Amino acid sequence: MRKEAENWFKQSKADLKTAEDCFKDKNYYAVAFFCQQAVEKSLKGLFIVKKRDYPIKTHNLLELAKELSLPDEIVKIARERSS
């Protein structure tokens, strides 16, 4: 796996841990933010693995899901979270 993808996945895991810590502390606004960041970074890591290129410059989960041709169920969830 390319180092860039590894870095995205590593940061995604760290963001998920931060979200879990915020949840324990009842900082729910921060939980939502770090969960979104974790998903975005995972998708960008997957982009590198799947497309063998740098990810598109966006924070939009729906756009990333569509670019990756993810299953309809995932695209639907991304669409719901983007609206």
Beta carbons of 32 and 11 less than 8 angstroms apart? no
pLDDT of residue 68: 96
Structure tokens at 71: 């299953």
Q: Name all domains of the chain by residue range, CATH numbers in brackets.
A: 3-82 (1.20.120.330)
For the stretch 30-76, pLDDT in tens is: 999 999 999 999 999 999 999 999 999 999 999 999 999 999 999 99
Structure tokens at 28: 């729910």
Q: Please state, in angstroms and rounded to a whole number, the distance separating the CA atoms of residues 3 and 78.
A: 26
For the stretch 22-41, pLDDT in tens is: 999 999 999 999 999 999 99
Structure tokens at 2: 């390319």
Structure tokens at 47: 């982009």
